């Protein structure tokens, strides 16, 4: 797409699922990719696949919970490609369970990655976007950020927080005249490794059945990210809800 060619795009959570699919999709359309995730081997494979097809991609092992890792990812984009045009804050965890299971370590992990990780990404890139008076911040929430499900209270809470954060960011950017665009994506059952991270046996079984029944490929969300990025610079489409046609979420 015309408005994607040559753009420098940072992707967190880039080693699998939606992040990986988006990296390939944007590379095909001429974007220059800066990939961040915790698993170096997977990042290396994805970057090499993009390079082998004539695309441009670099990567850095990144834990979004660490503010300095986010800052370093932005610095890598600038040192390699000279600029940053967009960031896709896609890293997330979904180790769901009923509150009564008291999986407090998982509660804290979801807050750290799903909320603090997003805030760290925004903090890392916002000064650059404000200075250049342009930029695009895209974030993965979930349909769990629009409605609440039993067994997913903490996860839902983190994804509702993402909705609020991104909406306030959109409004503040508009008020400040910084021309920063935002987009929040609310996927339903889309292929990812989220279900694999559920340790609670009963919850895992229910979610695995749900995803086995309805799941659509991660590329479907990658298409939405590309669509958002391709819009004219004066246009923000701030929210996208996407899921299987057959899933009554």
At 110, list the tokens.
């979801």
Burial class of residue 105, CB neighbours in 10 A (0-12, 13-18, 19+): exposed
Kindly give the pairing relationship between strand 32-37 and strand 8-12.
Answer: parallel
∠242-243-245 over CA atoms, to 5°?
120
Beta bridge partners of 185: 140, 240
Q: What are the DSSP calls for 146-177, one per residue? A: TS--TT-HHHHHHHHHHHHHHHHHHHHHHHHT
∠156-161-167 over CA atoms, to 5°?
130
Active site residue 155: yes
Given the residues 59, 155, 186, 207, the one annotated as active site: 155
Are the CB atoms for 152 and 144 separated by under 8 Å? yes
For the annotated catalytic residues, the residue numbers are 155
């Amino acid at each position: 797409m015309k408005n994607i060619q040559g753009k420098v795009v940072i992707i967190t959570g880039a080693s699998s699922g939606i992040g990986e699919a988006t990296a390939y999709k944007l590379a095909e359309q001429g974007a220059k990719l800066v990939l961040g995730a915790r698993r170096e081997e997977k990042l290396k494979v994805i970057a090499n696949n993009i390079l082998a097809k004539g695309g441009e991609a670099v990567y850095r092992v990144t834990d979004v919970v660490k503010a300095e890792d986010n800052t370093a990812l932005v610095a890598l984009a600038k040192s390699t490609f000279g600029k940053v045009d967009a960031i896709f804050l896609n890293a997330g965890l979904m180790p769901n369970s009923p509150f009564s299971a008291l999986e407090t370590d998982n509660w804290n992990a979801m807050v750290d990655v799903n909320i603090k990780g997003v805030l760290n990404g925004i903090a890392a890139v916002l000064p650059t976007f404000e200075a250049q008076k342009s930029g695009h911040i895209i974030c993965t929430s979930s349909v769990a950020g629009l409605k609440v499900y039993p067994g997913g209270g903490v996860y839902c809470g983190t994804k509702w927080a993402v909705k609020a954060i991104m909406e306030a960011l959109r409004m503040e950017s508009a008020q400040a005249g910084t021309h920063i665009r935002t987009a929040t994506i609310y996927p339903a059952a889309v292929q990812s490794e989220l279900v694999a991270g559920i340790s609670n046996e009963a919850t895992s079984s229910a979610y695995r059945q749900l995803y086995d029944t309805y799941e659509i490929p991660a590329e479907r969300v990658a298409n939405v990210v590309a669509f958002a990025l391709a819009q004219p610079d004066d246009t923000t489409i701030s929210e996208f809800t996407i899921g299987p046609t057959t899933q009554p979420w």
